[in-house]
Amino acid sequence: MDILDPAVERYLEGLAASDDEPVLLEMEELARRNGFPIIGRLCGRVLEVLGLTVGAKRIFELGSGFGYSGYWWSRVTGPDGEIHLSDGDPANESKAMDFLERAGLAEPITYHVGDAVEELASVPGEFDIIYCDIDKGGYPDAWSASRERIRPGGLFICDNTLWSGRVTGESDEADVRSGWTEAIVEMTRAIEDDPAWRSIIVPIRDGVLVAVKSHRRR
C-alpha cells in the first residue's frame, strides 16, 4: 500500500536531494543493493527536524543497523552530544562507525552490540529522544522500557507504525503468525491511552509515530 501518493513522494524526495553527500549516498546504495531496510531520506529529515526542535543532546536509538539514522541524529546533536546506537549484529557496528567517521559524524556516537532494550537499561539517566526501530514484535516492550526514561518535553519516536497499511486490519497470513501487526497496534494504543503523552503518526514512508512527554496530564 502506498502511504503517500507516489507523485507527492517524488516531489518530497526531490526537495530532500539537497542533502546529497558522498557518505549518505553510499549508505543508501548499500541498503538498496542488499535489500537492507533503512528509514530513507524523508524520514531522516523528519528525525533531524524533530531533534533540532527539542534541542536534543542525549539520544538513544533502539535498533540501528549500519548507522543510517545515526547519521541524522549526529547532525542534530553535533560533536558535543551523546548518542547511543544499538544493534545485535557486530558487523553493523563496524560498518556504522566507518560510515560515520568518514562523514565526520562519529564523535557523539557510542555503539552497543546486544539486545536493544537491555542495552537501554544499561545506560543510566534521562534522554531527550528515544527512537525505536527494532523487530516489530518487540515494540510493546520497547515502549515500556522507554516511557519513564524520557524527560518532560522529550520525544519517543517509532518507525513502521502504519506497517504498509496492515494496521487497518489487512494483514496477510504470515504477518498474523508473526504477531508483528498486533504488537505495533498494542504499542500505539498504549501510547495513545497514556495521559502523560501526546502522539501523532506522521504518514510518510511507513508511518512515523511521534510522542511527546507532556508537562501536564490530560
CATH number for the domain harbouring residue 110:
3.40.50.150
**Cβ neighbours of residue 63 under 8 Å, at least 6 residues apart?**
86, 87, 116, 132, 133, 134, 135
Checking DSSP bridges between strand 150-158 and strand 208-213, what pairing results, if any?
antiparallel
Name which of 116, 113, 69 is nearest 94 in CA terms: 113
Whether 64 is in a domain gets the answer yes
Whether 143 is in a domain gets the answer yes
Kindly give the parts of the chain with pLDDT less than 50.
Answer: none
In whole numbers, what is the pLDDT of the chain averaged over residues?
Answer: 93
Range of the domain at 62: 6-213
Give residue 165's pLDDT: 87
pTM score, whole prediction: 0.93
Whether 24 is in a domain gets the answer yes
Give residue 171's pLDDT: 65
Domain count, the chain: 1
Whether 67 is in a domain gets the answer yes
Residue with cell 503523552: 197
Give residue 9's pLDDT: 87
Whether 1 is in a domain gets the answer no
Whether 218 is in a domain gets the answer no
Give residue 83's pLDDT: 98
The Cα 204–Cα 10 span in angstroms is: 12
Dihedrals φ, ψ of 6, to 5°? Answer: -55, -35
The Cα 78–Cα 108 span in angstroms is: 7
Whether 63 is in a domain gets the answer yes
The Cα 50–Cα 146 span in angstroms is: 18
